[in-house]
Structure 1
């Protein structure tokens, strides 16, 4: 969910190690799953809206990704300026190469 989806991109391993190792011990697995499920459901419902434009669907997916990341970083006790810097430096996927749309946020996990 939080990574840029490209294994060859700069910083991919650094981001993955930070998000999955550092934060994994800070938040219970149940809490993470509940939060992921909620925002995944929001994004999935948007993708199911036939009258929504691709831009609207991508915007909601992006908002869900950033919201989950910000919440997890805040739980870890990071300050707002640190969180903002991390979010701004992260490449956010809204469409997976080779697929027409990204309906399942777990694809990025």
Structure 2
């Protein structure tokens, strides 16, 4: 769905309606709105609502677009959180490192003597 929004905004140069995204993605309107709202909660897309008149009736229409600055900031934040989680990992998890390349016939790992746990780079 995000790819469709990206493609359509590049084509039109402006925001797109969720109905148009559903038609382009060949999905139900309800499913597209659900996915777009999840993407909005994760700061990957932005939406705004506009009043439109169709057939004499005034309706609220929701438009979607990709805010690239916000998208990049959200991705950077996620990468930062992942790096922080890796650095906070307990030392016990690091000491249980198993080298899958060198296992002898008995199931022992002779390389444990060769590799110093402190030399492992994350």
Q: TM-score, normalised by structure 1?
A: 0.26
Q: TM-score, normalised by structure 2?
A: 0.24
Higher fraction of helix: 1
When Rg is computed on C-alpha atoms for both structures, the one with the higher figure is 2
Higher relative contact order (CA 8 A, sep 6+): 1
